[in-house]
Amino acid sequence: MHANWKTWTHVTKLDPDKRLPPGAVEEIATSGTDALMLSGTLNVTRENLLELLDQVSLYGLPVVVEPASPDCAIFDGGVDHLFVPSVLNTDDVRWIVGKHYTWLLSNGDGIKWDMVVPEAYIVLNPDSAVGRVTGADCNLSAREVSAFAQVADRYFRFPIVYIEYSGRYGDPRVVQAAAGAVHDAIIYYGGGIRSAKQAAEMGRYADTIVVGNAVYEEGIEVLRATVRAVH
């Protein structure tokens, strides 16, 4: 499989804090998805992250770790990329640069920089764990989201702008506005995709869609349908 993340159109997000039934990882890995992203907000530890990594690394799919905290920044064991988020729409500096500074302060020499991909997160679901934890201002218009996307792309040169509705299906017009605002960045969309129709709708504007909760709540057939919709 292709480890060049810029070419992916479908990524499956797996949460180390959630349990999958036996055989599910193999079905997910053979669903046609381009990559697996190991990511969560609550109760993610180095231990449960390594346990999930051990399960998914058998199948040859590209694996991304999106660390919730510096101790979850793992470079070994079959990890291809470390996607490191900065939440732009918060006034809590920890989630923009503070955690990153702490990480480098304690581990600056141990970072494999060729594996690190910075993400500019725009979090838009106030009821989500990531929205609450980061104190994100989720009440943004399409115009405001596009301005954040432009700041990320043109000013800070983030390679990924991630529109995150986290558990709730978002507004395609907001994603369209963000996509229209960026010049170089890849647009990722994540949140509430539970059907081929929704996958296709967001896939029109986002370069890459991320499907997460559907894996746990809807099952493998829905995941396969979302893959077909964007491929």
Binding site per annotation, positions? 13, 15, 41, 162-167, 192, 212-213
Burial (CB count within 10 angstroms: exposed 0-12, middle 13-18, buried 19+), residue 54: exposed
Return d(Cα 193, Cα 3) in angstroms, integer: 23
CA-based nearest residue to 119, from 90, 82, 154, 145: 82
Contact yes or no for 155/131 (Cβ under 8 A): no
Return d(Cα 42, Cα 60) in angstroms, integer: 27
Query: From the annotation, which residues make up the binding site for sn-glycerol 1-phosphate?
Result: 13, 162-167, 192, 212-213
CA-based nearest residue to 117, from 155, 163, 79, 165: 79
Query: From the annotation, which residues make up the binding site for Mg(2+)?
Result: 15, 41
CA-based nearest residue to 221, from 81, 28, 76: 28
CA-based nearest residue to 135, from 93, 193, 177: 93
